Structure 1
Amino acid sequence: MTVFTVHEPPTTPPDRLDRAEAMVFLKDGFTWSAFLFGPLWLIANRLWLATLGYLAVAGLGYLILAAAGVDQALFGPFLIALNAVVGFEAHWLKTIKLEAGGWQTLGSVTGRGLADCERRFFAGWLPTQQMVRRAESTATSHAAAAQAQTATHDGTAEPRASKRGPFAFLSRPR
């Protein structure tokens, strides 16, 4: 089984389907590309501080091995171990970057692959979301407009017809 964490961007569109399209699923676990390409993977994912940390640890490791008089052939296994750390921590590094950018972690989901995890997550998430989220100020103004009454020529009050959009059939009745 594969585990994915689900992340939502800081500014989300009001429509739940657009919100679903903007979500990111990050695979939890060992990342082979991060292990094989270490610093290049960090640069490709714009993890600048992690790249600087990688270079600092690699440089410091080289200096320590050279100062200790250890054969330089041991620097290769040291870099392999450092890349293994990057491979194991790749998911965490990407999660930290997203959270620093204001992204919200919505949860995690398990499945046989990405498609299965997306299906499982959205099967539970979509029914709990409103069709279209409105901002607080626009929601109150729309509610006030819906409550407005107009007087007819004989003095009785009847509700004003609300203007419906082209996708009004998708919204739930209130």
Structure 2
Amino acid sequence: MSAYVIMKPPNGISADARLLRDGFSWLAFLVSPLWLLWHRLWLEALFVFLMISVFNAVGEATGHGVIGMAMSVLVSLFIGLEGQRMRLAALGRGGWRESGVIEADGETDAETRYALEAAERPDQEAPLPEIVPDNMQVRTGRTDLMLGISNHSGRY
């Protein structure tokens, strides 16, 4: 079973939510820059492309091509492991918020489970209780007692 992270859009409509599988992505590992470009992670794709190019160029220039290639594979492995988290972070920067996690066998199963759960609860969440009390309900304390280093109540 895989875990799918539910991301709700800034408008809060459950029907527009996205489900992103949390875990290793083979496609992100095999073609890291292209996978990042496909998911519109422009800066990350540029950075990964530059890192892979620099590692390979330095490895070839110093006569250690195998080490340069191994470093490039490590960068691709990192993208394979953390690529989905990069997508979640990009959505978070866009105003999307993480709403929960669903465990499912596949993407269609996760969508079905999410649709069934969304049908059971309304779109509008109940308003949160007011934490700060109204000014009329606040009791005024004694002004002559203070906590701290200095006590300026007028009496010694």
TM superposition score normalised by structure 1: 0.62
Which residue does 2:29 correspond to in 1?
35
| Corresponding residue number in structure 2 for 1:83 | 76
Of 65, 69, 72, the match for 1:72: 65
Deviation digits for residues 114-139 of structure 1 (CA, Å, limit 9, x no counterpart)? 22222323333332215xx5xxxxxx
Give SS of 2:23's match: coil
Normalising by the residue count of structure 2, what TM-score does the alignment of the two structures yield? 0.69
Query: How many residue pairs were aligned?
Result: 124
Letter in 1 for 2:112: R
Percent identical pairs in the alignment equals 26
Distance 1:44 1:113 in 2: 21
Task: Please show how residues 1-174 of structure 1 align to structure 2 within 5 Å.
Answer: 1-12=1-12, 19-62=13-56, 64-65=58-59, 69-130=62-123
Shift of 1:64: 4.7
Return the structure number with greater helix share: 1
**Paired residue type of 2:23:** G
Structure 2, unaligned runs of 5 or more: 125-156
User: Any conservation in 1 of the 2:28–2:36 contact (CA below 8 Å)?
Assistant: yes
What one-letter code is carried by the residue in structure 2 that aligns with 1:97? A
**CA RMSD between the two structures:** 2.1
Query: Which structure 1 residue ranges, 5 or more long, are not aligned?
Result: 13-18, 134-174
The offset of 1:66, in angstroms, is 5.2
